[in-house]
Amino acid sequence: MDLLAYLLITIALIFMALGVIGLFRFKDFYSRILISAKIETVGFLTIMIGFTILSGLSYAAMKILLITLMVMITNPLSTHAIARSAFLSGYPINQESRR
């Protein structure tokens, strides 16, 4: 089980590193915020599943699952609020990124 946990954590770290590198390829704010939310959500979820497996069936695993639940609820909401406020304040959408 430890091998599976370490494998999940390693996959998450690789995914996040490649996502950050790919993040710099996008030119406008809205594409970058979308990709950063996906990187954070998938990477965080995978890392936390790995930590839950490492800690076993314990009080620490329950805490990890509660933290994961809170992040899974608040991350999309905060990303949406940031993107919506940028849109409503008139932040322009780069026309070159639509091609």
- Reported as a single tens digit per residue, the pLDDT across 30-64 is 889 989 999 989 999 999 999 999 998 899 999 99
Measured CA to CA, the distance from residue 42 to residue 30 in angstroms comes to 19
Residue with tokens 């594409």: 31
Structural domain boundaries in the chain = 2-90
79 contacts 44 by C-beta, under 8 angstroms: no
- SS3 of residue 71 by DSSP: helix
The DSSP code for 90 is T
The pLDDT of residue 1 is 87
Q: Report if pTM > 0.85.
A: no
Give the pLDDT band of residue 99 (cuts 50, 70, 90).
low
Q: What is the mean pLDDT of residues 73-80?
A: 92
